[in-house]
Structure 1
């Protein structure tokens, strides 16, 4: 029997590509250039599976109007707001993702961003590299102390809880959170986390707020000018979730006016484009590095492969989302 034909839209870790090439008739992307939308649309008639990433936008108009040859989208990543799930279902296409394996490394980056903003490390390094540092002095580049401060989490899922544990056990921070769904007491107890009844309550009370909601229309610009105004003037906002959760212009305005003290961002609404207004602010800006460790990126690819293997073997899928 011929091997299923699959398309991998970006370059993946070599060990993963080796596994996929052995098990499937795999078309890889050695140049690692993002595929054009029309190329992905054409692929629905040529392949049995497509393995997209967050950099591939799959809106409804990209899907075939009738049943396609593609039967599964093996998404490389936990988030899937870039895929129109209703359109996938209508075309008879299963969608899977890669949850869990990236939680720890992304949580590490949450704390990294918080510390970078609070202690002004990016600003300091730029000063040193530019040869503008004139030596130690008592009032030079004073930042904020995070130890013992209040850490707010909006969205208390795997990554949010992992970040909360680091904040509480590593820095003695008081953890507060809001989640739209009830959280089991034992999970909250891992970081002595206290629930709040609204997003606004967390924003008002926390010294640093970390966002962990899914993207998509439901949470589009959830953090807007009105909600930013609720934060402390000394407050820090961290986003490693999805860029569209924050109104970028509103954030830039809040940073310029000192409505809040700083922001640490790893994701953006129109990646890789970053609003010019944000580039001129006291924000720490990273290039979507949340899961960017070798171990995690390999584990993500292996999870996609596991989902493909199960699907083509007619078995239950480990990580089906649609």
Structure 2
């Protein structure tokens, strides 16, 4: 049977409360403990030196540049894809599956710092900056809704692609702080206060022979097609990131051991404390290349869920409520 089509649900100020009620149902009643995120923001106005880009030891310099950008710039859009431990997206007993895209109020292209080419790209992809200013979600309102929906707890598993900026902007909004921590270890400490396990798909791809480049390039290598929308739209990109993550787990031989080895490590920000004890992660050969060295067991999502793995997911008992919202 064909899979249900996917719809990106757009969140604005006028429907934010109702949409996050649905999100809460997905988390608590449908067991969606995995959340894959993507953010859109006004580009970068500071860049690391060429040496810092090349050097594995220049973590602090790269973090300082990230911090300067995130401290001065404002989040425009957040996309997130929820799934359960078997990779199922919420459908709420309808004919569609759903992902979400939050549109924020706060960025003003006429007065706020930004990279002009990035704003032009977002406009070309359909981001309506004027609508964001008038109808977008307030940052404080968003933070409250995230808490109420049950997304901010240690039982969640967070996924991003090259996720340093994604998690930095989300931390800035959730903590209601104007400035990020001064160093990378402080950054990881604060991330752990708000989020559960974190996985960076680009960091995972480093373990797979032949996988490199941006999200679209890695997806193409894995023969993963974008299911809905287009690039640089946060909802669509969060879904593609989830598709690539799922493919890596199921077909590129990421065992639970290997997945644990890359958890809580963001690409380009490999703090010694973030990695902990050194782990030797063997180079893997993905199944789309001609030669494979070894076939390892497929990752079992459920075994990474801690206390949730042995619990049955309760059936949703709020059909009338969902019917009204949907």
- State the TM-score, normalized to the length of structure 2: 0.23
Richer in helix (by share):
2
TM-score w.r.t. length of structure 1: 0.23
- Higher Cα Rg, which structure: 1
